[in-house]
Amino acid sequence: MDKVIEVKNLVKDYGNIHAVKGVSFEVNKGEIFGLIGPNAAGKTTTLRIISTLLQVTSGEIKVFGHSVAKEPDEVRKCISYLPEEAGAYKNLSGKVYLEFMAEFFSEDTNGKTEILKRGIEIANLGERIKDKVSTYSKGMTRKLLLARALMVNPKLAILDEPTSGLDVVNSHQIREMVKSFSKQGTTILLSSHNMLEVEFLCDRISLIDKGVIVESGSPQELKEKYKTNNIEEVFMEVVK
């Protein structure tokens, strides 16, 4: 099976704080892989390192065979990252924001128009797409940002808490969108502390706690192994 991400013994320290302590996992092509854990478990740090934002203290990461440390420019060509607390440029309209982002991924005007069209469709904001981002609700902004991340048909989408802070309806819409993109061939690495969401979305998961991966497998395998009804109970069993 093609390996999209290979993480080996990843360590990240912020001064005296050890955020990630020797994490290893692999993500295969076309799957939705979830990094699950409570707040401050090291999920976001791991995703930020894979997205070329942070440098490793030690360990090795490869994305599509490119080393994140040595070939960050090559890695950036393959990925699309949605940070947990991301925002959009408030003085731009939603459409202009998507247009600005589309420009980086298109070779010509036709390509740009196509990406933009897809972005507007995914965002599904109707006429409000022409309004300034500063007038959007949190849900609308998150949809716009998810559209930005997925409109370029990335080979790998890295989504940090994609439904963070959203209501039931918006969360559901976003989960459906992520599923449909996975079916179209995009590999997805996501993080969440919402165990039920993960169970619904992910093909495989790794449970992370205090900077260490404590368990890995498909949601079904893990539930069977720990004889529980859901992943939340699996997590409680593992960290007990």
Partner 1 sequence: MKNFYNIVKKEIRELMTRQMIFSLVFMILMFGMMGKFIGNIREEAEKSVSMAVFDMDRTPFSQTVVEVLGGERNVIKESSLEKALNKAREKDIKALLVIPEGFEKDVEEMRGAKLEVYSILKGLGIGDLSSSGMLKSAINTINQKIATSFVQEAIPGKNPQDIINPIKIKEFVTVREKTVPGNPEMIQGLVTSQSIMIPVILMMVIMYSGMMVITSMGMEKENKTLETLLTLPVKRSYIVTGKMVGSALVALIMAAVYMIGFRYYMSSFMPSAESTPILKNLGLVMTPLSYLLLGTSLFMAILVALSLSMLLGLFAQDTKSAQTMNMPLVILVMIPFFLLMFKDISTLSLPLKILVYAIPFSHPIIASRALIFQNYFPVIGGMIYMAIFAGVAMFITIRIFNTDKVLTAKFSFKKRRKS
**Where do contacts with partner 1 occur on this chain (CB under 8 A)?**
14, 16, 48, 51-55, 73, 76-77, 79-83, 85-92, 96, 100-101, 103-105, 145, 148
Query: CB of residue 200 vs partner 1: minimum separation in angstroms?
Result: 26
Query: CB of residue 97 vs partner 1: minimum separation in angstroms?
Result: 9
Nearer to partner 1, 33 or 81 (CB): 81
Nearer to partner 1, 53 or 196 (CB): 53
| DSSP-derived 3-state class of residue 1 | coil
Nearer to partner 1, 26 or 99 (CB): 99
Query: CB of residue 81 vs partner 1: minimum separation in angstroms?
Result: 4
Query: CB of residue 83 vs partner 1: minimum separation in angstroms?
Result: 5
Quick one: DSSP state of residue 137?
Answer: -
Q: Could you tell me how many helices (H) and strands (E) the chain has, helices first?
A: 9, 10
Nearer to partner 1, 32 or 63 (CB): 63
Distance (Å, whole) CA 53 – CA 170: 28
Nearer to partner 1, 77 or 179 (CB): 77
Residue pair 220/50 in contact (Cβ under 8 Å)? The answer is no
Instruction: Kindly give the residue spans of alpha helices, DSSP state H, lying in the chain.
Output: 43-50, 72-78, 94-105, 109-123, 138-150, 168-183, 195-201, 219-226, 231-239
Query: CB of residue 116 vs partner 1: minimum separation in angstroms?
Result: 13
CB atoms < 10 A from the CB of 217, how many? 15
